[in-house]
Structure 1
């Protein structure tokens, strides 16, 4: 099994199969995907060999990411290749959700167990502002289809930002009340080239936690003994 110098064991692999994305999110690719060289992504056979190698060393969960992984025409074949790998027991994917409404049931049938969808606002206009795409209705339709597809887990990832969706916590919580969806609020990440944007928009995870506690949400106490 894979073990780091601190003694931590790893059973989970995140595998990026493309860096291409068709959205232009303000915190990630505000100018859209740009590439000034020939693209040379892992082939399906290389992906299969990579997953097999990690599974041999104890990896049992695979998360397929990008960019936007579903832009690959062989995305479903990647799922099937992982499903056929001895030792892999859970296959997840992270997506912007633009094609879920059409294909998520096929992905589940091929072996996908869980999906995380990036949705930063439940307001169609703000969704368009953040992502650069008027695809809110399509993505939300995809969420409903995913819930019908037999997946073990459907999660929504959201980056809250002061100047955009900083007050979106309550609408998200209301949305969750009657749907078996897990909500994950992710802190805006600071990089070498986004300091001004980060300073203007960062909302700490601690402040979100405090809002939840004030609203009556209870923390889960995990027994680590």
Structure 2
């Protein structure tokens, strides 16, 4: 896809949810929960349809984001459906890494080929102060599992 001044856009950032299990000081310090009456997240079929439309315009990479995209119970189904779209060659994701150690292999098998992990500090106390969770060791185990 090319804009009016000739810049090429080859990837789409697709937010799967706005819900997150961390409470980072720079994002959702007071937490966030879905409220009644708010529109629902896109279904897997709707995501696939949107990605297919962009793929027909020449996009070949999709980055799955959120909130924390892996909180969706159908995250792997979504990744698999998007990876199956003709023309899509790469599925990337951004995650806080909370579930990475236990799910890295399943996400790879679903089509995720690149992961951006938010590690706000390597100091456990600072990590906890920023994210609201004492989970640095879990996240670092996830980094190792994703290698």
Name the structure 2 match of 1:21. 20
After the TM superposition, which parts of structure 1 deviate over 4 Å for at least 4 consecutive aligned residues? none
Q: In structure 2, the residue corresponding to 1:15 is in which secondary structure?
A: strand
CA distance in 2, matches of 1:6, 1:73: 40
Residue pairs, 1:1-225, within 5 angstroms: 2-39=1-38, 40-147=40-147
CA displacement at 1:110 relative to structure 2: 1.6
CA change 1:38–1:135 in 2 (3 A) is farther
CA displacement at 1:92 relative to structure 2: 0.1
CA distance in 1, matches of 2:34, 2:103: 27
1:33-65, Cα deviation, whole Å (9 max, x unpaired): 144333411001001101111111101000000
Q: In structure 2, the residue corresponding to 1:91 is in which secondary structure?
A: strand
Unaligned regions of 5+ residues in structure 1, if any? 148-225
Q: In structure 2, the residue corresponding to 1:21 is in which secondary structure?
A: coil
How many residues matched?
Answer: 146
CA distance in 2, matches of 1:141, 1:38: 38
CA distance in 2, matches of 1:78, 1:34: 21
CA displacement at 1:131 relative to structure 2: 0.2
**TM-score after normalising by structure 1:** 0.63
Higher Cα Rg, which structure: 1
Name the structure 2 match of 1:157. none
Larger relative contact order, structure 1 or 2 (CA cutoff 8 Å, min sep 6): 2
CA displacement at 1:5 relative to structure 2: 1.9
CA RMSD of aligned residues (A): 1.0
1:143-193, Cα deviation, whole Å (9 max, x unpaired): 00001xxxxxxxxxxxxxxxxxxxxxxxxxxxxxxxxxxxxxxxxxxxxxx
**TM-score after normalising by structure 2:** 0.95
CA distance in 2, matches of 1:97, 1:38: 30
Q: In structure 2, the residue corresponding to 1:14 is in which secondary structure?
A: strand
CA displacement at 1:7 relative to structure 2: 1.5
CA distance in 2, matches of 1:35, 1:56: 33
Q: In structure 1, the residue corresponding to 2:12 is in which secondary structure?
A: strand
